[in-house]
């Protein structure tokens, strides 16, 4: 592994990398960063978790001229959730560069606050294609100074129908710019996009070494439709069900399954595209910080998830096609962890299983399960509980301020405090369930950063 210090990076970026504990480059960083820092176009095949965000984040920050107040870098992502993750990652890398203005512009959010934020040009915008296109058309976003364009998870953007929006955006920004394209696959559609928007790109392909490939155990279980929920509950009550992702094909089924699991005593929440953006944000926060044990979601809604240690994925409905099935099982067994992916299959869904078997080129691992109806209600509570603080980045609130208030005046031990997420106007902190009420009382009675903020439990 090559050290970041061997690259011609600004001292401020090297300092950020040291703070974050990044010393040696991952394979995708080692291959893509040198040509990106030279200003070359790059097309890279890279999976989530490969270090690609840090790679293009470093490249665009290296090229950034902070003293020039105009939009210089644009990152397009398929979902709001991924855009939020990318924004957070770039902010961390830019921590030692003063006065960098980064905005996240996504659909599903009101236009008014975004327009107000755009009164002064940002240096960097991370967003979804539809909303970025809308701002460029309105003239609220000025693309004439863009030096770096990043297409992150380009294959997912094409799957979601953003091809025309991407082409339109490219036509509205500076003609001469660097384009960095990242995709999990090199499908023909991706090659076509590269051909339209890139000039003589350097091609990077990184195969994970055999020992680093996730150990995902697959199981297929045939079950009658009437017994599906009993089978699901039985599987979730097992050892790995304490943090599980459940896929349904239809939004209405997502709601029905989540409600039934909640009725049976599971800490379960639903996630799909019909939900308000704030509700989706809060569901993702609660699942990531372990104050929700089971997330029931559609495939599109789950695309922005970035949960490293997810031991169990269950397909309540078998995926419509092999690619979707592969994407689902890839949510578990990440970052070197082992994972279990279980697919429930009714007799009528057998043809879909046959398609998956053909695509895999190997026999599916079937197992039997005798679903048992529930005997009373057993509580399967999540280990954490979330508190909401009605203040965020706009109030200059940082995770360290919240941690300090909880371990200081509130008297909690740091080990009882989980993930802290700070948004523009709200912050979320996970507390060990048994101590959540104590933390709530202490925060309400005390102060955070010398000020009183409204604090309430979530869910």
pLDDT at 304: 60
Q: What pLDDT does residue 216 have?
A: 84
Residue 281 CB-density burial (10 A; 0-12 exposed, 13-18 middle, 19+ buried): buried
Provide the pLDDT for residue 48: 67
Residue 390: count of CB within 10 angstroms of its CB: 12
Q: For the segment 220-249, what is each residue's pLDDT rounded down to a tens digit? A: 999 999 999 999 999 998 877 789 999 999
Q: What is the pLDDT at residue 308?
A: 65
- For residues 362 and 371, give the distance between their C-alpha atoms in angstroms, rounded to a whole number: 27
CA 62 to chain centre: 24
d(CA 438, CA 135) in angstroms, rounded, equals 45
pLDDT of 319 strictly over 60? yes
Fold of 214-367: Rossmann fold (3.40.50)
Name the residue ranges covered by the structural domains of the chain.
Answer: 4-205, 214-367, 384-458
CA dist 289 and 36 (Å) reads 34
CB count in 10 Å sphere of residue 379: 8
- Output the CATH code of domain 384-458: 3.30.70.330
- Using CA atoms, how far residue 183 sits from 53, 187, 204, 291, 429, in Å, is 12, 9, 11, 32, 33
Q: What is the pLDDT of residues 291-314, one digit of tens each?
A: 999 999 998 777 666 676 688 999
Which CATH number describes the domain made up of 4-205?
3.40.50.300
When pLDDT is averaged across residues 441-450 and rounded to a whole number, the result is: 85
Residue 124: pLDDT above 50? Answer: yes
pLDDT of amino acid 214:
53
pLDDT confidence of residue 212: 44
Which pairs count as long-range contacts for 44-47, CB under 8 Å and 24+ apart, including other chains? Answer: 44/180, 44/181, 44/182, 44/183, 44/203, 44/204, 44/205, 44/206, 45/183, 45/184, 45/185, 45/186, 45/204, 45/205, 45/206, 46/182, 46/183, 46/184, 46/204, 46/206, 47/184, 47/208, 47/330
R_g of the chain, CA atoms, integer Å: 23
Above pLDDT 90, what percent of the chain?
Answer: 60
pLDDT class of 327 with cuts at 50, 70, 90: confident
182 bridge partner residues: 44
pLDDT of residue 451: 87
- The mean pLDDT value of the chain amounts to 89
Q: What is the pLDDT of residues 143-198, one digit of tens each?
A: 999 999 999 989 888 877 788 999 999 999 999 999 999 988 787 888 999 999 99
Residue in the block written with tokens 């490293």 = 308
Contact 157, 76 (CB under 8 A): yes
Best CA proximity match to 169, nearest among 122, 220, 134: 134
The mean per-residue pLDDT over the stretch 397-401 comes to 88
- pLDDT level of residue 211 (50, 70, 90 thresholds): very low
Tell me, yes or no, if the two domains 214-367 and 384-458 fold the same way: no
Segment 329-356 shows an average pLDDT of 86
């Amino acid at each position: 592994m090559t050290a970041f210090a061997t690259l011609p990076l600004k001292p401020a970026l090297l300092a950020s990398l040291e703070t974050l504990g990044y010393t040696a480059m991952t394979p995708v960083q080692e291959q893509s960063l040198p040509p990106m820092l030279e200003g070359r176009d790059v097309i890279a095949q890279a999976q989530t978790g490969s270090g690609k965000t840090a790679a293009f984040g470093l490249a665009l920050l290296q090229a950034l001229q902070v003293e020039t107040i105009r939009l210089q870098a644009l990152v397009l992502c398929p979902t709001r959730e991924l855009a939020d993750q990318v924004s957070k990652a770039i902010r961390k890398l830019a921590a030692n560069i003063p006065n960098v203005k980064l905005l996240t512009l996504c659909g599903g959010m009101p236009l008014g606050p975004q327009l107000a934020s755009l009164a002064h040009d940002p240096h960097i915008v991370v967003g979804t294609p539809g909303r970025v296109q809308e701002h460029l058309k309105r003239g609220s976003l000025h693309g004439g100074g863009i030096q770096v364009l990043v297409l992150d998870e380009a294959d997912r953007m094409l799957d979601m129908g953003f091809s025309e929006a991407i082409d339109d955006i490219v036509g509205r920004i500076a003609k001469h710019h660097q384009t960095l394209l990242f995709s999990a696959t090199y499908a023909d559609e991706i090659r076509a996009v590269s051909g339209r928007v890139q000039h003589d790109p350097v091609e990077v392909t990184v195969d994970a070494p055999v020992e680093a490939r996730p150990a995902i155990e697959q199981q297929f279980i045939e079950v009658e439709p009437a017994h599906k929920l009993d089978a699901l509950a039985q599987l979730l009550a097992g050892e790995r069900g304490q943090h599980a992702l459940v896929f349904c094909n239809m939004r209405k089924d997502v709601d029905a399954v989540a409600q039934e699991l909640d009725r049976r005593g599971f800490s379960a929440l639903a996630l799909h595209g019909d939900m308000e953006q704030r509700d989706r944000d809060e569901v993702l926060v609660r699942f990531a910080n372990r104050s929700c044990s089971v997330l029931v979601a559609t495939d599109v809604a789950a695309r922005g998830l970035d949960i490293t240690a997810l031991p169990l994925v269950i397909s309540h409905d078998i995926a419509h096609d092999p690619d979707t099935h592969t994407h689902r099982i890839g949510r578990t067994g990440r970052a070197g962890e082992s994972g279990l992916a279980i697919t429930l299959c009714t007799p009528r869904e057998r043809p879909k299983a046959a398609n998956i078997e053909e695509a895999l080129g190997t026999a599916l691992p079937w197992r039997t399960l005798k679903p048992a109806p529930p005997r009373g209600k057993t509580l399967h509570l999540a280990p954490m509980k979330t508190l909401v603080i009605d203040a965020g980045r706009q109030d200059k609130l940082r995770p360290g301020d919240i941690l300090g208030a909880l371990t200081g005046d509130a008297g909690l031990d740091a080990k009882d405090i989980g993930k802290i997420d700070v948004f523009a106007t709200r912050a979320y902190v996970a507390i060990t369930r048994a101590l959540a009420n104590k933390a709530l009382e202490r925060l309400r009675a005390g102060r955070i950063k010398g000020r009183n903020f409204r604090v309430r439990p979530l869910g």
